[in-house]
Amino acid sequence: MPYSAEVSRSNPSCILFLIDQSGSMEDPFGGSGGRRKADSLADAINRLLQNLAIKCAKSEGVRDYFHVGVVGYAAGVGPALSGSLAGRDLAPISEIANQPARVEERLKKVEDGAGGLVEQSVKFPVWLDPVAKGGTPMVQALGYATQVLQGWIANHPDSFPPVVINITDGESTDGDPETAASGLRDLSTSDGGVLLFNLHLSSREGQPIEFPSEVGTLPDAFATTLYQMSSPLPDYMVQMAQGEGYAVSDESRGFVFNADLVSVIRFLDIGTRPANLR
């Protein structure tokens, strides 16, 4: 059965983020009352990396269940992490967790145990700051990801297949990305094909859309292209998503519009996760 390989330190999986840092990301984000898409993207990638590191954290440190990379695309295409991780396509999640660019103190509202909310100071690691300049060479970025993952899969042929999360406003400037996306999805381990998920940050106002199963509900051509590029959710993810209350079906794809994709991190199975942990 595909997508059932155990994810462990001796048989890790891989997560590769592709982030659109083009000039169009200066435009306001449709779901946030004038906030720039670049700011929403930086928040999205920092939250995804944070959730992934916490997922793999144990009392003794972070277990290397995943190798992680962040590829930026704008004026050029290449690794986007800074500091000691600069220039690396992939790094074990423990290195990512231990080397954010900085750790900020932020206030977060938490339940006080008596039905109310109190503000609590929490540490918020930041790996990437907002960037918005240049074009959107998405085809080139997908090709770069294909090259990185070909090498990784050659060394991990029986792993849970790599997951690629592309965060963009959808406006590719170097051609139709579908062919390059198809080439990426065609890569596979013995456990299944590479999963390509897309997070569409749009200037268009409208209700967030999560894991749609048809193009009819999508607001524009960019969303339709990204939806068509996205992998169908594997059966086990459909079951998990349904368990969390998402209205998904066997036809649902790994695509969200003006929403977050943190749920995908929860859907990665590294062992027992309590249903009552959110």
Partner 1 sequence: MIVWSRTFRAVKGGYRQDEYEDAARPHGDACRAGKRLRYAVADGATETSFSGSWADLLAKGFAQGRTRSITRWLEVARQSWQAQVAGLVLPWYAQAKAEEGAFAAFIGLELQESGDWHAMAAGDCCLFHYRHGELQASFPIAMSSEFNSRPTLIGSRAQGNLRDDAILHWSSGSWRPGDRFLLSSDAFAHWVLCSHERGEMPLDMLQEALFETAGFEHWVERLRAQGLQRNDDVTLLDLRVWPAGATPGGLPTLRELAHSI
Q: Under a CB-based contact definition with an 8 Å cutoff, are residues 169 and 37 in contact?
A: yes
Piece of 1-9, 25-33, 155-163, 206-214 that binds partner 1 (CB under 8 A) = 1-9
Residues 250-269 that bind partner 1 (CB under 8 A): 269
Measured from the CB atom, the residue of 9 and 133 that comes closer to partner 1 is 9
Q: Under a CB-based contact definition with an 8 Å cutoff, are residues 161 and 193 in contact?
A: yes
Residues 177-206 that bind partner 1 (CB under 8 A): none
Q: Which two tokens stand for residue 19?
A: 């982030």
As measured in angstroms, the least distance from the Cβ of 108 to partner 1 is 10
Measured from the CB atom, the residue of 107 and 221 that comes closer to partner 1 is 107
Measured from the CB atom, the residue of 34 and 105 that comes closer to partner 1 is 105
Q: Which two tokens stand for residue 171?
A: 């406006």
What is the number of residues in the chain? 278
Measured from the CB atom, the residue of 154 and 277 that comes closer to partner 1 is 277
Contact between 1 and partner 1 by CB under 8 A: the answer reads no
**Close Cβ partners of 211 (under 8 Å, ≥ 6 residues apart):** 233, 241, 246, 248, 252, 253, 254, 255, 256
By CB under 8 A, the count of residues binding partner 1 is 35
Q: CA geometry: angle at 152 spanning 146 and 155, to 5°? A: 145
In DSSP terms, which residues pair with 196 in a beta bridge? 164
Q: Which two tokens stand for residue 118?
A: 């109190």
The only residue of 33, 34, 59, 155 in contact with partner 1, by rule CB under 8 A: 59
Contact between 117 and partner 1 by CB under 8 A: the answer reads no
Can you tell me the distance from the alpha carbon of 269 to that of 198, in angstroms, rounded to the nearest whole number? 20
Interacting residues with partner 1 (CB under 8 A)? 6, 8-10, 50, 53-55, 57-59, 61-62, 97-98, 103, 110-111, 113, 122-123, 125, 239-240, 243, 269-278
